[in-house]
Amino acid sequence: MSAPLYSFLADLTVIVHASFVLFVIGGQVLIVIGWTIKWHWTQNFIFRLLHLTAIGYVVLEAWLGITCPLTLLESHLRNLAGEATHSMSFISYWIHYFLFHTAPDWIFTLIYSLFGALVLLTFLKYPPRANKRSRIKYEDS
């Protein structure tokens, strides 16, 4: 493969990474808003389970000291493209700017753990519900 293709794949990896972060943070914001103003879709079981699993994965990575696979993949692709890991496209730069900050690892582990606890608490206090179709099917049998 050519360097521009590796560079494109690295940028795409950053976009996927940012989308994951947006899902975790934005999902929690939407769940709390939905709880407040009675949006029933925010209790969708699959959405809520995926959301809880996503933050659980992040917390587990932090506790175990594992570097995110998306970060490793992006770095590897940038190396294959012949780029320094800090040399990136405009979009990549800004996504990186918001995703990665310099602080001791324990700060991030604490933040991820507290956010994970918030997601778990929300999951328990405002639980997901099965969709109506599956409830009706279950009640009819």
The total number of structural domains in the chain stands at 1
Q: Average pLDDT, stretch 77-88?
A: 80
The pLDDT value given to residue 98: 73
Residue 137 in this model has a pLDDT that exceeds 50: no
The pLDDT value given to residue 64: 96
Cα gap 127→138, rounded to integer Å: 19
9-66 confidence digits (pLDDT tens): 999 999 999 999 999 999 999 999 999 999 999 999 999 999 999 999 999 999 999 9
| Spatial CB neighbours of 30, under 8 Å, sequence gap ≥ 6 | 39, 42
Quote the domain boundaries for residue 51: 3-140
Taking alpha carbons only, the member of 130, 136, 128 closest to residue 35 is: 128
What tokens does 50 get?
Answer: 């995926």
